[in-house]
Amino acid sequence: MPVSLGRRSLLARGSAAGLFVVAGQWLWLTPGQAETQGFEPQVLSPEQCRALSMLGDALVPGAAEAGIAAYIDLQLEAGEKSLLIAKYLGVDTSVQSGFYRAAADNVIALTDENSSMQTFIASMATDSLSGWTGPPASYVMFVLRADALDVTYGTPEGFAKLGIPYMAQIEPDKPW
């Protein structure tokens, strides 16, 4: 992978944009663009990305289109420079990939085509999912919802969708 970017560089270039592999080439894209162009995950499996995207979109409509799975995969690859909310809630960056993998694997194992995602989320909220392993489901839901909000509404365009003026401390040069 090309040289890693620091937090200041990411903020200066538009926060969540990053280098994604698409068709074997590294491209500078937003997470949404990476999703649209079929990015190749570097940390999570494609199935885990689909699971996180499905759950993230159920928690925050528009998160899948905004590129929640690409965003999480990119941030997991960043290691200590991760901007994922889990880092700020005490999940050490050295184990973040395990946290998100476990979350995705639980979604894969415990959802099926016949179950409602809203029912699944309600069960996550009360930690009442039979067979859930790893960090509490309610905590995973809280973390993933925050990440989905970041990628969906943490841009000037996201603020505009909400009708709120974007007043960043460091204005990005370009949109994600």
Tell me what pLDDT residue 92 has.
Answer: 87
Tell me what pLDDT residue 135 has.
Answer: 92
Return averaged pLDDT per consecutive 10 residues of the chain, 176 residues in all.
43 62 90 93 97 97 95 92 89 91 96 86 96 95 95 83 80 58
Phi and psi, residue 27, nearest 5°: -130, 145
Tell me what pLDDT residue 162 has.
Answer: 84
Tell me what pLDDT residue 5 has.
Answer: 46
Helices (H), 22-129: 31-36, 46-59, 63-66, 68-77, 85-88, 96-110, 117-125
Strand partners, 25: 22
Tell me the pTM: 0.83
Tell me what pLDDT residue 115 has.
Answer: 78
> Who contacts 86 (Cβ-Cβ below 8 Å, separation ≥6)?
96, 99, 100, 143, 147
**Amino acid in the structure at residue 151:** V
